[in-house]
Structures are given as structure tokens and as C-alpha cells.
């Protein structure tokens, strides 16, 4: 079966600053889905850079986020995604019928050290594993 004929499921992670939670979620999904899912992340008010503690926490698991840059949330990104996962961006996330929306309530790692970010990272990883299983039923 050719990959050109099968549309990959696509996921957009959204938080306010696109510097911590959504970046970690996107990095986990990119790594754990091995290219089987299209991944985007964005923020309603993107920060200047990715949270260094989030970068460090992910590096501990062998995932390099150091080159990531926070991106602004666009209507096009939402329209192009099958699943939109919000993480504390409230009413600033645009809504389109026919999309699967999930709101993940996670502590904001902004301004926290790596010790505080690790449990957030681990919770995100667990949720990503469940998400992959729901999008790619054969994935274990």
C-alpha cells in the first residue's frame, strides 16, 4: 500500500505560549508515531523561545527539542488538522465542526525548573501513547 494514497491523521497541539506543553506533546508524537501521524503545534500568544526546562526534560529521554521555535496559532493549522488538542488556551482556540477536540488539563511548566517539568512530561507521554492507539489502532 502506497503512503501517497492513505492520508495520515493529523494532530495540532495548542497552548498559550507554544513553549512547553504543546512542544513536548508534538515532540513525543513525532518520535513515538514514527512518521505515521502529521504533527503541528502552535500558541495563541507564542513565546520567544521554547522553555529551557522542557527542552532539558525531553533531552533526558533522548528527544531533542532545542531547535524548535514557538509558532502562532492560525486558522489554517486548525482546518488542516483532524485532532486539535488544547492545553489551557481557553476560548482563543478557533472551533471548526467535524474536528476532534480534546482539552488536556496539564500544569503549565512556564517558569519552573526541570524537576517540576518531569511529571508534566511523563503525563504528556502517557496521553500521547493513548492518542496514538486511538489514531492508529494497530499501534501498540
Catalytic residue status for 25? no
Return all residues near 84 (Cβ < 8 A) that are at least 6 apart. 11, 12, 14, 78, 93, 99, 100, 101, 102
Question: Catalytic one among 16, 24, 26, 89?
Answer: 89
Return all residues near 98 (Cβ < 8 A) that are at least 6 apart. none
Residue 127 exposed, middle or buried by CB count within 10 Å (0-12, 13-18, 19+): middle
Question: Catalytic one among 93, 114, 131, 132?
Answer: 93
Question: Catalytic one among 15, 42, 106, 131?
Answer: 15
Catalytic residue status for 119? no
Catalytic residue status for 93? yes
Judged by DSSP in three states, 136 sits in coil
Catalytic annotation, residues: 15, 89, 93
Amino acid at each position: 500500500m502506497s503512503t501517497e494514497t492513505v492520508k495520515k491523521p493529523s494532530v495540532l497541539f495548542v497552548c498559550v505560549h507554544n513553549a512547553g506543553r504543546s512542544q513536548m506533546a508534538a515532540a513525543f508524537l513525532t518520535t513515538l508515531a514514527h512518521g505515521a501521524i502529521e504533527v503541528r503545534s502552535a500558541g495563541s500568544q507564542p513565546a520567544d523561545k521554547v522553555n529551557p526546562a522542557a527542552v532539558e526534560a525531553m533531552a533526558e529521554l533522548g528527544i531533542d527539542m532545542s531547535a524548535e521555535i514557538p509558532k502562532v496559532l492560525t486558522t489554517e493549522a486548525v482546518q488542516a488538522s483532524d485532532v486539535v488538542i488544547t492545553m489551557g488556551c481557553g476560548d482563543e482556540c478557533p472551533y471548526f465542526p467535524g474536528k476532534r477536540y480534546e482539552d488536556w488539563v496539564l500544569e503549565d511548566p512556564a517558569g519552573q525548573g526541570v524537576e517540576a517539568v518531569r511529571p508534566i512530561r511523563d503525563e504528556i507521554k502517557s496521553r500521547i501513547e493513548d492518542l496514538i492507539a486511538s489514531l492508529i489502532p494497530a499501534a501498540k
